């Protein structure tokens, strides 16, 4: 699935099953919550925190997909074409960071 297809599928789902989009501010808050859930699972899986019983059945991919879902909702609501935005972002990083990481002693 392309990013454009994902944006269309989320839009179709929202308009049929989801009834309508939550407000942009509500979705921004939900995005923050979803990132927090992903961070919690990352801290327990790859960090030093131990798992709580309620965390044991969580799936990393599903948590990432939750973040992506809400981000796509926000893009749809605000008229952002994520394909174009990502392409521009690659261009920006390619120019700005052309030598930055190669010259970073910490990455050697």
Q: Which residue has the higher pLDDT, 75 or 56?
A: 75
Whole-number Å distance between alpha carbons of 26 and 32: 10
Secondary-structure class of domain 3-82 per CATH: mainly alpha
Which of 85, 65, 84 is CA-nearest to residue 10? Answer: 65
Q: What is the model's pTM?
A: 0.88
pLDDT for residue 99 is more than 90: no
pLDDT for residue 83 is more than 90: yes
Question: pLDDT, tens digit, for every residue of 35-72?
Answer: 999 999 999 999 998 888 887 789 999 999 999 999 99
């Amino acid at each position: 699935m392309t990013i454009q297809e994902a944006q269309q599928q989320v839009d179709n789902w929202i308009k049929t099953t989801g009834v309508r989009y939550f407000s942009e501010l509500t979705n921004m808050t939900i995005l923050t919550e979803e990132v927090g859930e992903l961070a919690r699972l990352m801290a327990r899986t790859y960090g030093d925190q131990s798992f709580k019983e309620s965390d044991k059945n969580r799936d990393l991919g599903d948590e990432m997909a939750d973040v992506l879902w809400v981000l796509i909702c926000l893009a749809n609501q605000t008229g952002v074409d994520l394909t174009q935005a990502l392409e521009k972002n690659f261009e920006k990083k390619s120019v700005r960071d052309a030598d930055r990481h190669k010259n970073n002693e910490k990455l050697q």
